[in-house]
Chain A
Amino acid sequence: AQKITQTQPGMFVQEKEAVTLDCTYDTSDPSYGLFWYKQPSSGEMIFLIYQGSYDQQNATEGRYSLNFQKARKSANLVISASQLGDSAMYFCAMREGAEAGNTGKLIFGQGTTLQVKP
C-alpha cells in the first residue's frame, strides 16, 4: 500500500542552524512526485518544494532543499539557516502516477512539528 512516514513528531533547532526533517515513502509505482508543505499555527498549507521520481538532481528552493535517496525511498527536507518564522508543522506528501490511476491525489505523512529556538 502507498504510504508516507514521518517518524519525528517534534523537532527543535537553534536559530540560524540547519535542520533535517525525515520522510520515507512506499510505492510500487515507478512514477511519483514528492512534495513538502508547511503549516504554520495560522493553519494554511504552504507549498515548499517538489521532487519528481525521475529527477536526477535534488530539488532546491531558496533555504529549502530535498535530500532524495531513491533506493532508500527517502525524501528528507533540509532547511538551512533556520529562522523563527520556520516554526510550523511540516508535511511530506506523495502524488502517485499511472498505476494509481493518475488521480493526482496526495498521500500525506503524519507531520513533524518544528520549533526554532532564538
Chain B
Amino acid sequence: NAGVTQTPKFRVLKTGQSMTLLCAQDMNHEYMYWYRQDPGMGLRLIHYSVGEGTTAKGEVPDGYNVSRLKKQNFLLGLESAAPSQTSVYFCASSPDRTAHSNQPQHFGDGTRLSIL
C-alpha cells in the first residue's frame, strides 16, 4: 500500500533556483494539502485542494504555487527559492473534509529541502 508518496525526499537548492515537489496518492482521496514544518512551529498549511482542478491558499502561501491537474497528484512549486523556504514539506490527503468525520489526513514521508 503506497498511500501518499512524495518526491524527492531530499533536495538542496541555491537561492533563486526553482523546483517542483510532487505528491501522489493512490487512495482516490478528494482533498489534498501541502504543509511545511519548521522547528517549534508545528505544521503550517501552504496550499490545499478540494478537488481536481481546484486550489486555494493556506496560512503561508507566499513564494509557492500549486497545481492539481489530476486527482491523484498535487504539485508544489517554488519559482525562486529563498533561504526562508528551508523546511520539511509534507503532503497529505483525506477522503473527507467535514469536522465531525473521523477520517484523518494521511501524510507522505516528507521532503527535506535546504536553500543555500
Interface residues of A (CB under 8 A from B): 4, 9, 29, 31-33, 35, 37, 43-45, 47, 50, 52-54, 91, 93, 95-98, 102-111
Contacts and interface: CB of A to CB of B under 8 A. Distances in A.
B91 to A, nearest CB: 10
Given A98-B99, A103-B97, A105-B33, 17 more contacts: A31-B99, A32-B99, A33-B101, A43-B88, A45-B92, A47-B106, A50-B104, A52-B99, A54-B100, A91-B43, A95-B99, A97-B98, A104-B50, A104-B96, A106-B92, A108-B43, A111-B42
B100 A52 contact: yes
B102 A91 contact: no
Interface string B39-53: 011111100101000
A37 B42 CA distance: 11
B74 interface: no
12 contacts: A37-B107, A43-B112, A44-B110, A45-B92, A47-B105, A52-B100, A95-B99, A97-B100, A102-B97, A104-B48, A104-B94, A105-B58
Contacts of A31: 99-100
A47 B92 CA distance: 12
A109 B107 CA distance: 17
Contacts of A104: 31, 33, 48, 50, 94, 96-98, 105
A25 to B, nearest CB: 12
Contact of B107 (A44, A102, A111): A44
Contacts of B41: 110
Nearest to B106: A47
